[in-house]
Amino acid sequence: MEIPALDRDHSDSLTDQIVRGLRNQIKDGVLKPGSRLPSIRGLARQVAVSPMTVVKAYESLETDGWILREHGRGTFVKGREAAAPARADTDWQLALVDGLPSVADVPFNPTANVDVKVNLANAVIGAGMLPAEPLSELLQTFSRDPDAVLSTYSSTAGEAILIRAVAEMLEIDEKELIITSGAQQATYIAARSFVGPGQAIAVEAPTYMGAIECFKTMGLHVLQIPVDEEGMRIDLLAAACEEFPIRMVYTVPAYQNPTGAVMSTRRRTQLLEVAETHRLVVLEDDIWGDLYFKEPPPTPLYKMDRGGHVVYVKSFSKTVSPGCRIAAVAVRGHFHKRFLANKSAMDLGSPVLTQALVGRFLESGQLPRTVEQLRRRLLQLYTACIATLERDAPDGLVWYPVQGGLTVWIRLPAGVRANETVRELSYHGVHVLSGDLCYMNEVLGQFVRITFCHPDTEQMTQAVSLLCATVKRLAERKRLARRRPTL
């Protein structure tokens, strides 16, 4: 019996290679049913591996039904018919109707696996800019009474210390607050709680891709309402409400992701009027509101709302720690109970450890200073980013100035596609987000989103410069292609 030569540099283990070699010979009929395999020591000698490697290979083959080990007699190939496939056949799952849209429609990031040197795609506050040190010091204090955070569940609404601190910070009644594992979970639970089968949800166009992903995988009808420099076009929303069974509006009114637009007070008032007229729930995602450069954004919708239409979400992923996965939801009236019931059905409550940690951090009074420093740093980075765009942007490349947040929305020159721009840049290790991912249906193919929040200003500006050069090259290529006569 021959085993193909083992490749000691291969990423597969020697055990896996022996398993594969033997399995193939059994499958191909080279090793006949009933034939005896070498002893463990014999095979180990033959292929120069340790006996333990052969033991593991034989065990794996026996578990999968290819061979039989008979005590005192030896190891034999099982009948081919009797042998189970190496891995359970899961194709039956494809026939199971789940009511969801095709998984292929979910906008996973196409360049997620490339080797990224400078990531301008992710809207994440990088290491060094968030309060990791004070958090880790507070974390040590839990070792004095580990049971308090490790041997108990949280109440569904959340840990008292955190709720108290958030209530004080946001000036919202404690009874209105529920802690969730990030804004993403809050968004999911809100849609579960307030949008039923056959109903629709309106979102901004473009919008945060995580929200699209969430609503799409829930099988909801999603309508996109364009955004301009004053935020969501409420006139278009009102018109859509006449035509479609819209139940909820998802909005990021402060430093909207991806455009950075801020919804004006005028539009906020109009939105609440539309909500009242059409009995809508407004899901206000205020993840970026604290990260203004100079002036804070207008009063949150939740504070303006008198009729219990607005469900407010404040995440701490951008100001304290994305790893802690903590957000607070404010919701009034009967909706509070409904949201709580769905939160309970989902996970009973968020982890005690991270709630207690963020609670203690807020209680320590360090957040305002942390956010103040962050704002200053973000303004520096933004200024450097815009200066680079002003210097290097080719004709036709347009960016939209922002007053806060992390993102810059860029329109590419006519003819230059977002996907090819993303691809070309990825070859240089620079990752930007294709704007296509921020649309539900009408993919324009003409926008990219960059984030300027990178710990190294020089690397960030070099990457922005490279984006400009790449777009210029692509535009030039398009121009030449247009001039070339077709055959």
Ligand X SMILES: Cc1ncc(COP(=O)(O)O)c(C=O)c1O
Residue 434 forms beta bridges with which residues?
448
DSSP string, 117-184: SEE-SS--PPTTSS-HHHHHHHHHHGGGSHHHHHSSPPPSS--HHHHHHHHHHHT--GGGEEEESHHH
Adjacency order of strands within the sheet including 221-228: 177-180, 327-330, 310-315, 281-285, 246-251, 200-205, 221-228, 231-232
CB of residue 443 to ligand X, shortest distance in Å? 19
Q: Under a CB-based contact definition with an 8 Å cutoff, are residues 195 and 187 in contact?
A: no
Coil, helix or strand at residue 214: helix
Two structure tokens written together for 483: 């001039």
CB of 55 to ligand X, least distance (A): 46
Binding status of residue 126 toward ligand X by CB under 6 A = no
Q: Phi and psi of 397, rounded to 5°?
A: -85, 125
Q: Is 257 in the site for ligand X (CB under 6 A)?
A: yes
Q: Does 355 bind ligand X (CB under 6 A)?
A: no
Q: Which is nearer to ligand X, 3 or 125 (CB)?
A: 125
Q: Which is nearer to ligand X, 214 or 393 (CB)?
A: 214
Minimum distance of ligand X from residue 199's CB (angstroms): 22
User: Does residue 385 touch ligand X according to CB under 6 A?
Assistant: no
Q: Minimum distance from CB of 322 to ligand X (Å)?
A: 5
Site for ligand X in 403-462 (CB under 6 A): none
Stretch that binds ligand X, among 145-153, 180-188, 447-455, 464-472 (CB under 6 A): 180-188
Q: How far is the CB of 326 from ligand X (least distance, A)?
A: 8
Q: How many residues bind ligand X (CB under 6 A)?
A: 14
Residue 252 within binding range of ligand X, rule CB under 6 A: yes
- Tell me if 215 contacts ligand X by CB under 6 A: no
Nearer to ligand X, 68 or 214 (CB): 214
User: Of 241 and 453, which CB lies nearer to ligand X in the complex structure?
Assistant: 453
Q: Which residues have C-beta within 8 Å of that of residue 404, sequence separation ≥ 6?
A: 254, 255, 260, 262, 288, 291, 292, 293, 297, 375, 378
Neighbouring C-beta atoms of residue 79, cutoff 10 Å: 13
Sites for ligand X among residues 295-354 (CB under 6 A)? 315, 317, 322, 327
Question: How far apart, in whole angstroms, are the C-alpha atoms of residue 259 and residue 203?
Answer: 13
* Gap between the Cα atoms of 377 and 456, Å rounded: 11
Query: Taking the complex as a whole, how short is the minimal distance between the CB of residue 229 and ligand X, in angstroms?
Result: 18
Fill in the DSSP letter of residue 398. Answer: E
Which of 107, 131, 158, 182 binds ligand X (CB under 6 A)? It is 182
Q: How far is the CB of 144 from ligand X (least distance, A)?
A: 29
Q: Specify the residue, 54 or 212, whose C-beta has the smaller distance to ligand X.
A: 212
Q: 457 phi and psi, to 5 degrees?
A: -60, -40
Q: According to the binding rule CB under 6 A, does residue 208 interact with ligand X? A: yes
Alpha-carbon gap, residue 16 to 5, rounded angstroms: 13
Binding site residues, ligand X, CB under 6 A: 123, 182-184, 208, 210, 252, 257, 285, 287, 315, 317, 322, 327
